[in-house]
Structure 1
Amino acid sequence: MEASFNSQRLRLARSRREMTSQALADAAGISPVTLSRIENKNNQPEPETIEALANALRYPKAFLFGDDLDEVDRDDASFRSLKAMTAKERKRALAAASLAFLVSDKIDEKFGLPEMDVPNLSHERTPESAAETLRAHWGLGDRPVGNMIDLLEAKGVRVYSLAEETVRVDAFSCWRSGIPFIFLNTLKSSEHSRFDAAHELGHLCMHQHGGSGHKSAEPEANAFAASFLMPASAVRSRIGRVRSLGDIQNHKKRWGVSLAALTYHLSKIGVLSEWQARGYFIQMNRDGTRTKEPDPMPFETSHIWRTVFQELWNEKITKAEIARDINIPEDEFETLVFGLAGKRDEREVSIKNSRSKGLSLIVDNERVA
């Protein structure tokens, strides 16, 4: 049976390109009324109209045909900065999830990725105890997390990049058919992105069956992230006394967090007084280290994706072919996988024993970031 035109896919593509109805209609050479009728399933577009819409959106024409794609409802996604985002930015980010689901299904068909191991910790009394329980469950002890993306992927979390051209979209997470997904904005600093990832992990654990929309959800996820990345007992044993902001800067890299995050956490766990912390934040605002991270970490990327693409390359399958196979633009595909479809960073990936089925991945979670 031949696939029919799908207006839901058209709306998703328009959201991804952040085009208004007027802008798309103008670019496709049709009236806004005609576009509205097409999107609302009142009109079946002519072949030449479909061609014009696909060209205007820079999407393969084939994408506009087929079954509905899974969508993430706004209430089911935990956005860190929902109030700061415009409706257009939110729709664009949520549409990215629908494309990621397509990619994930394709990769899952071919590779045996790690099974999900993200427990439901909604019963925990505090976010701090939830973070401690998860660390114990994953066997991390009190040592720093070397690479958050590696750790998440090793526990079955599917991590994708938003690569949105705005600082108002931090990150969001959701569940789909029992699989957790986290989407990170790669415009942020590495330290910020790591905290975002831990924040979303908190939502996945503590608000697994809803509840990420209540008033206390964001503070809870922040407290979880701080405790998960910076276990209080370990931080106190390392940082017994602080004489200057430089002392804090010397320690921040061990935990892979920003200068501001470590300063705030030290005040929460009693290493700094509220007066000291306030003074250090004034100093950060004055010297610009609140917004421009001093001595920044290198950006984290995904070992899984590099391994996957190395295997596909060994089979002479290119990123362009994968994108064509699922009928999405190559640029969308690349942004979803952190740009790893087209380049490798300097870190070594162990791929010698990996195969298309039962992919084996080595994750170094003992490394100090």
Structure 2
Amino acid sequence: MFNGKRLSLARKRQKLTAKELAEKAGVSPVTITRLETGQNQADSGTLEKLAEVLGYPVQFFFKEDPALLSAEIVSFRSLSSMTAKERNAALSAGDNGVEVYEWLENRYNLPALDLPYFDPELTPEAAADALRQHWGLSYQPIANMMKLVEAKGIRVLGLEETTANVDAFSFWQNDKAYVFLNSFKSAERSIFDTAHELGHLVLHRHGQTSGADEDTRTAEVEANRFASAFLMPEEDVRARMPRLITADLILRAKKRWRVSAMALAYRLAHLTKPMLSEWQYRSICIELGKRGYRTSEPDGIPRETSVLWGKVLSQLWAERKSLVDVADELSLPMTEVERLLFFILPQHGTDNQGGEVRRSKLSIVK
């Protein structure tokens, strides 16, 4: 049976209002509303036209209800900077991402989720330290953040949007944790984003992160504090950084923790016992900004990519299959599967340093 919720999802993913879709498909806005609310069933001619306009296979509209994520459970950074179309498109990408992972889970044995519940009274820094200890990380720098969270069962996908207003986000769905990363960021900022969203998953597991502006700001500050402490443990920072800190020293030292220069400067100024005074912090930030480090990382590190999806594609290739087959099985547009995976996949069979990708196998569920 035709599923109007699927029509609504596809429309929002393509950033169209009901009126805009109606005009493109040559039907009335009332028809779209009635189809989406389940009051009417689509005839074959209307359905084919809608599928053509939206770029979705006809079979997509006959699948069961999607997850239908809401803004209240998704960790959007700032709803005020997003248009309704951008927010709805991102939520629809999340819905499609959930289905991609459901498809994956039905075929492969994925890593089990290892994200324990911590006392909500813990400070973000204490929660970061507790998770590091739980995962046996000690205080050493994390060599690959995306590989780490995937190994702990967190489901990572990319977010290939045409706007910088939609930032990375995360959510819980059916006791599974998801992180979506924005392709607009530098490699260092994507690593911090991963840790930031991990912070939301740990700190705000049962709470809203996109409600009132004040609540959102508080949640964002907490997630930033978690990410900063998780990536740059105070013990390691104090052991490695000298007393006299300059912008040049930060540019050299940031490579150890694989973070942006601004993130390291912030961490040094916000330790339990700060290593930078407020005046020193402002001065260094001004200097780093003049050198182009406020919005980018001129001497950046290679971008992290997904180990899990690299293995999945290697297995598919061994079976003479590709992402086209994945899209067909999911009844999703190929472009949508590419948008979810392109950012996190090694390109052209190479890793970030240009070396050959090792194609390890996942075990297949029988």
What range is the shorter-chain TM-score in?
A: over 0.9
Residue 258 (structure 2) aligned to one of 256, 269, 272: 256
Partner of 2:342, secondary structure, is coil
Partner of 2:228, secondary structure, is helix
Moved more, 301-310 or 43-52: 43-52
For 1:350 and 1:124, the matched residues in 2 are separated by 43
Query: Does the CA contact (< 8 Å) of 2:250 and 2:261 recur in 1?
Result: yes
Task: Give matches, 1:160-175, under 5 Å.
Answer: 160-175=157-172
For 1:292 and 1:158, the matched residues in 2 are separated by 27
Residue matched to 1:34: 31
Deviations 1:263-305 (A, max 9, x none): 1111112111110110112223333321121211111110110
For 1:21 and 1:262, the matched residues in 2 are separated by 46
Query: Does the CA contact (< 8 Å) of 1:173 and 1:200 recur in 2?
Result: yes
For 1:119 and 1:211, the matched residues in 2 are separated by 19
Is 1:293 the counterpart of 2:304 in the alignment? no
Alpha-carbon offset, residue 21 of structure 1: 2.0
Task: Give matches, 1:109-188, under 5 Å.
Answer: 109-188=106-185
Residue matched to 1:367: none
Residue 319 (structure 1) aligned to one of 323, 331, 343: 323
Q: CA RMSD in A?
A: 1.8
For 1:153 and 1:322, the matched residues in 2 are separated by 20
Query: Does the CA contact (< 8 Å) of 1:124 and 1:130 recur in 2?
Result: no
For 2:136 and 2:104, the matched residues in 1 are separated by 28
Structure 1, unaligned runs of 5 or more: 359-369
Residue matched to 2:364: 356
Deviations 1:98-129 (A, max 9, x none): 11111111111111110000111243521101
Alpha-carbon offset, residue 345 of structure 1: 2.7
> Aligned pair in 2 of structure 1 residues 8, 354: CA closer, same or farther (>3 Å)?
closer
Residue 8 (structure 2) aligned to one of 3, 7, 11: 11
> Aligned pair in 2 of structure 1 residues 343, 69: CA closer, same or farther (>3 Å)?
farther
Query: Does the CA contact (< 8 Å) of 1:114 and 1:153 recur in 2?
Result: yes
> Aligned pair in 2 of structure 1 residues 128, 342: CA closer, same or farther (>3 Å)?
closer
Residue matched to 1:66: 63
Is 1:345 the counterpart of 2:350 in the alignment? yes
Residue matched to 2:313: 309
Alpha-carbon offset, residue 349 of structure 1: 4.5
For 1:331 and 1:122, the matched residues in 2 are separated by 42
Q: What is the identity, as a one-letter code, of the residue corresponding to 1:104? A: Y
Is 1:101 the counterpart of 2:98 in the alignment? yes
Structure 1 runs of 4+ with >6 Å offset? none
Query: Does the CA contact (< 8 Å) of 2:311 and 2:361 recur in 1?
Result: no
Deviations 1:325-346 (A, max 9, x none): 1100011111112353974332
Is 1:279 the counterpart of 2:279 in the alignment? no
Alpha-carbon offset, residue 223 of structure 1: 0.4
Partner of 2:117, secondary structure, is coil
Query: Does the CA contact (< 8 Å) of 2:60 and 2:332 recur in 1?
Result: yes
Partner of 1:150, secondary structure, is helix
Alpha-carbon offset, residue 246 of structure 1: 1.1
For 2:329 and 2:135, the matched residues in 1 are separated by 36
For 1:62 and 1:354, the matched residues in 2 are separated by 29
Residue matched to 1:92: 89
Partner of 1:338, secondary structure, is helix
Residue matched to 2:227: 225
Query: Does the CA contact (< 8 Å) of 2:197 and 2:223 recur in 1?
Result: yes
Query: Does the CA contact (< 8 Å) of 1:242 and 1:272 recur in 2?
Result: no
Task: Give matches, 1:196-235, under 5 Å.
Answer: 196-212=193-209, 213=211, 214-215=215-216, 216-235=218-237
For 1:242 and 1:41, the matched residues in 2 are separated by 67
Moved more, 162-171 or 52-61: 162-171
For 1:341 and 1:149, the matched residues in 2 are separated by 13
Moved more, 291-300 or 53-62: 291-300
Structure-2-length-normalised TM-score: 0.92
For 1:257 and 1:341, the matched residues in 2 are separated by 20
Partner of 1:110, secondary structure, is coil
Alpha-carbon offset, residue 348 of structure 1: 5.0
Q: What is the identity, as a one-letter code, of the residue corresponding to 2:51? A: A
> Aligned pair in 2 of structure 1 residues 252, 206: CA closer, same or farther (>3 Å)?
same
Partner of 1:175, secondary structure, is strand
Structure-1-length-normalised TM-score: 0.91
Residue matched to 2:186: 189
